[in-house]
Structure 1
């Protein structure tokens, strides 16, 4: 039975998920700016016309925009992407000019820009560490407990009791390492190395495609070897060890994201799998309907992705600014304004193109194209 939440619940869930993430990200920029004495003129959650807000005693306008797809902090003096002084900036009184973003040395500007993604990772670390303390650490050795008949593992000759030590060149320490490796490599050939009765062995297998459908009607295609592990053991996690586990999990999520993006770029994975705001809204509605734990977990996962994406060296994103600051630090002067202008134009084209692609995919994910095809047919 399809349990997809209604439209209103989906919208509210999307706002409840995206709002805190945007607030945390922009608060990172804001606090770092405050630390270095930069005046913030506006702190906005959402874009477009203001629907509510107030001005604090420092002159910062805190507001909500009608389009809840992001947010921004506008610092004084942040007049153009290249942070080049112009006549208006030079005309400011010295004290006021010193409180602008572009008056700060490059290392301070870099910290202010990097603070947004960094705070996203810190939020995810707190959430994942909390889950580790609440539910424990799952431990399951990479030992074959059973082999599904007719599966790639069975065809490769794997047997119960075999220990898997590596898949291709990837070392396997826990059963979960094997799951993560296989899940994103449907249809690919893999070299399985391990030990049987104390003796090393190596066999070839082709990862199968396992099509699964969840309670909301979403269909997932994942890689499958057909190996069943033993029952995992959940060990208690101390407050000191929890952050270590969280950091490891963040690294694993980023690693999987990088590999998946690489597969899309190389053509091994369909670009249709890329999603945007509409798909995030759909997932938000589904996850929040599953309870508080699922909602918090989703925020942690999206926070990692938001931090990672913003650090990509693409103009228009935080990573693009950091790249320019790195060049400025090496050259001891900023890149020429026209170079930065063309770079930002290229970045804008790339971002807009990506948004069009993911929006097209999102509309397909919510069934629009299928419904239109049905009406036309």
Structure 2
């Protein structure tokens, strides 16, 4: 399968997953779904009808859509089963379900990656580098040694090791380490003034990687998704204060995504024997998180904008007229489409520079 087709199918699947979130929430909350479309109109054919829902195949093969009863139709505003006949909390849940599905997909992707490569054991400390002529080197420590005890203190974190060593600068201390399932002891003296770029005993430390099952990986996948989402949300502020080069953080269109996808596909997977390139999975995790986060932004025409329109009804018990919502959404959608065209043109006029 060509890389272009792979990318199109993957992005389409993530967009359809987003729409599936809206679809399932609507069905669960008794709001009628008039059409679930694969691709975007114009319609190619109707695949089948089930209940009151038409399932269609459309000509533009990117993503999909869900059309809810009365979504944009003032004439169906108060009809039973229509979106706007439902309560505000019901509508809010339906609007949020699409982005939630994208974020859930990211959790699962990250959990799969963690289950494949393992997770750091934060309760253990391993040596991953030793400076020449340092106390650690002269004591015979090696990469891979697991430090268990320093100056009588059990070592259960990198912070604990650092603090214990720096509490005994210039003093001879006992250090216990595990190598090949054997515990060994050495004596060394942490330097009070180590060379620039080196620590008191001259080691680089890390946490060893441990195998995890899927139940342990899911919380780690959720944490990775949260951190990734927060990184996206704080990105504009980081650009404004000059911490990140705007050119490296600019949005990209389909060509930009394809360029990145090609480079990512060339990278060696962290687990070469894995049947799936984990770098590609992380790339798609980035896309699905972006879909989820961007759609939650309070911009009219997006899910976040629709949530914003629902809040006055919850807080003030007053509903914004549907005609106003439709007008604002139409203006915003036009602006978003123009921005979308501009971003995609920029991919050709000024291609992204990949590191």
Task: Mark yes or no: TM-score above 0.5.
Answer: yes
Q: Does 1:77 align with 2:73?
A: no
**What are the superposed Cα offsets for residues 120-172 of structure 1, whole Å, 9 maximum, x if unpaired?**
1111112211222222103587999579xxxxxxxxxxxxxxxxxxxxxxxxx
Cα distance in structure 1, aligned partners of 2:294 and 2:24 = 21
Equivalent position of 1:119 in the other structure: 101
1:51 counterpart SS class: strand
Distance apart, 1:47 and its partner CA: 1.6
Q: Structure 1 unaligned segments of length 5 or more: list them.
A: 1-7, 81-85, 148-172, 176-193, 200-225, 368-377
Equivalent position of 1:40 in the other structure: 33
Cα distance in structure 1, aligned partners of 2:44 and 2:262 = 24
Decide which of 73, 76, 84 is 1:89's aligned counterpart. 76
Greater Cα offset, 126-135 or 336-345? 336-345
Q: Is this contact kept in 1: 2:72–2:326, CA < 8 A?
A: no
**1:115/1:266 CA distance change after superposition, 3 Å:** same
**What are the superposed Cα offsets for residues 202-251 of structure 1, whole Å, 9 maximum, x if unpaired?**
xxxxxxxxxxxxxxxxxxxxxxxx99955662112233321211111112
Cα distance in structure 1, aligned partners of 2:276 and 2:21 = 25
Q: How does 1:128-167 map to 2 (within 5 A)?
A: 128-138=110-120, 145=129
Cα distance in structure 1, aligned partners of 2:106 and 2:257 = 17
Equivalent position of 2:277 in the other structure: 293
Equivalent position of 2:44 in the other structure: 51
Equivalent position of 2:60 in the other structure: 67
Equivalent position of 2:16 in the other structure: 23
**1:334/1:139 CA distance change after superposition, 3 Å:** same
**What are the superposed Cα offsets for residues 57-77 of structure 1, whole Å, 9 maximum, x if unpaired?**
214222333323432100111
Q: Please provide the CA RMSD for this pair.
A: 3.5
Structure-1-length-normalised TM-score: 0.64
Equivalent position of 1:249 in the other structure: 224
**1:195/1:260 CA distance change after superposition, 3 Å:** farther
Q: How does 1:159-178 map to 2 (within 5 A)?
A: none
Cα distance in structure 2, aligned partners of 1:133 and 1:246 = 9
2:255 counterpart SS class: helix
Cα distance in structure 1, aligned partners of 2:266 and 2:80 = 49
**What are the superposed Cα offsets for residues 324-370 of structure 1, whole Å, 9 maximum, x if unpaired?**
11122111121245653554355335423532442233224658xxx
**1:109/1:337 CA distance change after superposition, 3 Å:** closer
**1:269/1:347 CA distance change after superposition, 3 Å:** farther
Higher relative CO (Cα under 8 Å, sequence separation at least 6) belongs to 1
Q: How many residues align?
A: 282
Decide which of 233, 241, 257 is 1:280's aligned counterpart. 257
Q: Is this contact kept in 2: 1:78–1:102, CA < 8 A?
A: yes
1:292 counterpart SS class: coil
Distance apart, 1:23 and its partner CA: 1.6
Q: Is this contact kept in 2: 1:17–1:284, CA < 8 A?
A: no
Cα distance in structure 2, aligned partners of 1:89 and 1:258 = 37
Q: Is this contact kept in 1: 2:253–2:340, CA < 8 A?
A: yes
Cα distance in structure 1, aligned partners of 2:290 and 2:104 = 12
Cα distance in structure 2, aligned partners of 1:267 and 1:12 = 37
Cα distance in structure 1, aligned partners of 2:11 and 2:93 = 24
Q: Is this contact kept in 2: 1:139–1:174, CA < 8 A?
A: no
**What are the superposed Cα offsets for residues 28-53 of structure 1, whole Å, 9 maximum, x if unpaired?**
10011111222211112322323354
Equivalent position of 2:346 in the other structure: 361
Q: Does 1:258 align with 2:233?
A: yes
Equivalent position of 1:209 in the other structure: none
Q: Structure 2 unaligned segments of length 5 or more: list them.
A: 132-156, 168-196, 268-274
